[in-house]
Structure 1
Amino acid sequence: MILYLNPFTGLAGDMLLGALLDAGASLDAVRGAVAETGLTGWRLDAERVRTGALTATRALVTVDDDATERRAAELLAMAARAGLPVAEAALTAIAEAEAALHGEPVAEVHLHELGGHDTLVDIVGCAAALRDLGVTRVHCAPLPLGAGVVHTRHGVLPVPAPATLALLKGARVRGGEAGEAVTPTGAALLGAAGTTYGPAPEMVLRATGYGAGGRVLPDRPNVTVAMIGEPVAEPEPVTGPGRQVVLSTNLDDVTGEVLGHVVERALAAGAADAWVTPAVMKKGRPAHVLHVLTPPELAGELQHLVLAETGSLGLRRSVVEKVALPRHFETVRLHGRDVRMKHGPWGVKPEYDDLAALAEATGKPLRELAREAYDAL
């Protein structure tokens, strides 16, 4: 399904959650996902409210714990239990933005206003609502930036807040009226969902939802509008951070050395991945299929490289959605050298290049060094 957002007066985490619930997301599914984080002392309700001339859904979070400051690592660990990549990516983006602004390591940064129960409920809740609605693509109209100042633990800051601006990198924005129109939580969720900005895509509209904000505006309803639709049959332009292009060509007259050379050149030129699979062509000829996964902006350059290096008379281009889960690195010390350990939502493994260099330096088997790396965690 496609989600198109109209941030009529802005976008915050609770407004997005309210709009998704209003569009049909299950409140029980959202509550269940938040409960999986292990968070205690909270309650989430969806209330129908009147805002201006419209009736909308307000997502209300009630908490017993009024603490607003927590380490980002604590919130990330809780979000990981829910198994929602969008939630983990959004919290990771917030932690990285705050760490960069305050000059602290990501693992140690404290989230002040963003460290409360409501941040985790909003982010995990929105990610769960997207999953429940079957949303695979998110589009959004340009975001109003707002103006003025906001009062924080760090004093008075300009609007948009610095963290919001950092999280909006790559987003399409426009001027706005006084007040905070987009919150860091809202900006982080859009980035984590791989949002594409611009007019509404062609789709078959299936549901509409209105999410209410807390402010009362004198001349208009304070809402974010969510539209849920099915994609039409025609292919859409290759846009958005999740979209990639796969180039593939069948080759029955290219040596293994040339194939390896093309894979290395493609990766060096910016391909996200490149690989070769065996195949049998017509008349029983043994062959290989060369595949190159590339960002859309590099597809033309890499297409030329593949055709020039292989001598192929053509190739196939297909648009795919690449899902990249959040990951982070931890370093362990083995035999006087650093070995990076890549952590994902469901596992960890040592970096091959580091192990290979260590095996070369020590003469030890690579498999033995890998076991040592796991033991050193």
Structure 2
Amino acid sequence: MTICVISPFTGLAGDMLLAALVDAGAPLDRIRSAVATSGLTGWELRVQSLLTHGLMTARAVVDVADEATSRSAAELIAMAGRVEPAPVAERSVAALRAIADVEGRLHGEDPEHVHLHELGGHDTLVDVIGVCAALDALEVSTVYCGALPLGTGTVRTAHGLLPCPAPATAALLRGARTVGSDLAGETVTPTAAAVLKAVDARFEPPPEFRLLATGYGAGTRSLPDRPNVAVVHLGEPVAAGHRTLVVLETNLDDVTGEVLGHVAGGLLAAGALDAWISPVTMKKGRPAHVLHVLAEREHAARLADLVLAETGSLGLREYPVRRTALARATETVDVLGVPVRRKRGPHGAKPEHDDVVAAARELGLPARVVATIAAGR
């Protein structure tokens, strides 16, 4: 399993990300082959070295024989759907559908029939499929991205001058982490924003990882005081490292103990990593409880809906936490002829309580005696 951490130093465009991934080790022949399966003709993808401000970078160049720059979204999506392997096609289609949906909303058109102008050329298809193919070839499981710098001023489009970031980019970046930039013009392109959306990029600190490779992808614009680059780091998560999870909390002063127990059990069954209840005193001296839920980020919204539906609460809190998880393994030991599972970590072993109770009942012994034997103490 490999993670990819994107550092958008001066911004992010599809060609910058593609070049950075190739510079970090993505095989160019695999990328070209994936693009070719779409049926796109009249193109050639090159990645060349470029020295800028003392930094050696990679630059992705698409040479095009067909000068058409305007196609329908449906045409691009159909071509992406033919791509092999299937995971690359799935992500490529998701990125292009995201662009079509946004353009359709902005221009009041059906996404299936929306006509793409600047985004309808070869470059868009090559960049989208190329990045997805590179991530697939590198066996990237999760993408993390730093805050995206948003430029100022205007960008010229087929519809005239528009404010930066372009409306399509702004819509695609909803929910992403951004930061202001002193650079004028477009610093994040719709293509890059759509790819980040399609790969479900996480805008949060990555877990602890072992750095494997770094790549630098240069953009087309030259800047007077800095290299115009996006950086990617490829890494291998450390087995006993840190992970960023989400804690959901809500204060409850009108929910019975029976309901609280039911909700906690239901949350665990629904995929929560943990759920627990703390007694508190709320305003006006009311005795109450706080329901806590520990969850993976991708499950947080679904579990939050479950909490609100089951408790009737009018709101909850959500915040990231950093958890350290040590390596552990489950093994089975023999206790006087009865199997008992126990969980072993680097600092000891603990038998599973349910197995201990069942073995104690079968052997006619106190549970503490069975637990002591199973733990090996």
* TM score, norm. by length of structure 1: 0.65
Residue 190 (structure 1) aligned with residue 191 (structure 2):
no
2:147 aligned partner: 142
Deviation of the 1:97 alpha carbon: 0.5
Q: Is the 8 A contact 2:205 2:244 kept in 1?
A: no
Letter paired with 2:199: A
Give the distance between the partners of 1:300 and 1:10, measured in 2 at CA: 33
1:49 aligned partner: 50
2:243 aligned partner: 236
Letter paired with 1:109: V
Question: Which has more radius of gyration?
Answer: 2
Letter paired with 2:218: A
SS at match of 2:174: coil
Give the distance between the partners of 2:197 and 2:208, measured in 1 at CA: 22
Give the stretch that moved more between structures: 207-216 or 298-307.
298-307
Q: Is the 8 A contact 2:16 2:217 kept in 1?
A: yes
Give the distance between the partners of 1:121 and 1:15, measured in 2 at CA: 12
Deviation of the 1:306 alpha carbon: 8.9
Give the distance between the partners of 1:235 and 1:86, measured in 2 at CA: 28
Letter paired with 1:296: A
Deviation of the 1:231 alpha carbon: 1.1
Residue 121 (structure 1) aligned with residue 126 (structure 2):
yes
Q: Is the 8 A contact 2:216 2:232 kept in 1?
A: yes
- Percent identity at matched positions? 55
2:175 aligned partner: 170
Deviation of the 1:302 alpha carbon: 4.0
1:324 aligned partner: none
Give the distance between the partners of 1:228 and 1:30, measured in 2 at CA: 17
Q: Is the 8 A contact 1:238 1:296 kept in 2?
A: no
Give the alignment's Cα RMSD to 1 decimal: 2.6
Q: Is the 8 A contact 2:155 2:161 kept in 1?
A: yes
Q: Is the 8 A contact 1:20 1:209 kept in 2?
A: yes
Post-superposition CA distance 1:9-46 (Å, at most 9, x none): 00000000000000000000000000000000000011
Q: Is the 8 A contact 1:208 1:226 kept in 2?
A: yes
Structure 2 unmatched ranges of 5 or more: 247-261, 272-295, 312-377
Residue 33 (structure 1) aligned with residue 34 (structure 2):
yes
Q: Is the 8 A contact 1:69 1:112 kept in 2?
A: yes
1:86 aligned partner: 91
Give the distance between the partners of 1:305 and 1:161, measured in 2 at CA: 38
SS at match of 1:65: coil
Residue 199 (structure 1) aligned with residue 240 (structure 2):
no
Deviation of the 1:238 alpha carbon: 3.1
Give the distance between the partners of 1:3 and 1:121, measured in 2 at CA: 20
Deviation of the 1:295 alpha carbon: 2.3
Give the distance between the partners of 1:306 and 1:297, measured in 2 at CA: 14
1:313 aligned partner: none
Give the distance between the partners of 1:113 and 1:300, measured in 2 at CA: 40
Give the distance between the partners of 1:304 and 1:108, measured in 2 at CA: 39
SS at match of 1:144: strand
Letter paired with 2:37: E
Residue 98 (structure 1) aligned with residue 103 (structure 2):
yes
SS at match of 1:195: coil
Give the distance between the partners of 2:164 and 2:303, measured in 1 at CA: 38
SS at match of 1:221: coil
Post-superposition CA distance 1:316-345 (Å, at most 9, x none): xxxxxxxxxxxxxxxxxxxxxxxxxxxxxx
Give the distance between the partners of 1:183 and 1:169, measured in 2 at CA: 14
Give the distance between the partners of 2:67 and 2:114, measured in 1 at CA: 20
Post-superposition CA distance 1:94-126 (Å, at most 9, x none): 000000000000110000000000100000000
Residue 61 (structure 1) aligned with residue 67 (structure 2):
no
* TM score, norm. by length of structure 2: 0.65
Give the distance between the partners of 2:194 and 2:54, measured in 1 at CA: 29
Structure 1 unmatched ranges of 5 or more: 240-261, 273-292, 308-377
1:222 aligned partner: 228
1:296 aligned partner: 300
Deviation of the 1:66 alpha carbon: 1.1
Give the distance between the partners of 2:138 and 2:119, measured in 1 at CA: 26
Deviation of the 1:304 alpha carbon: 9.9
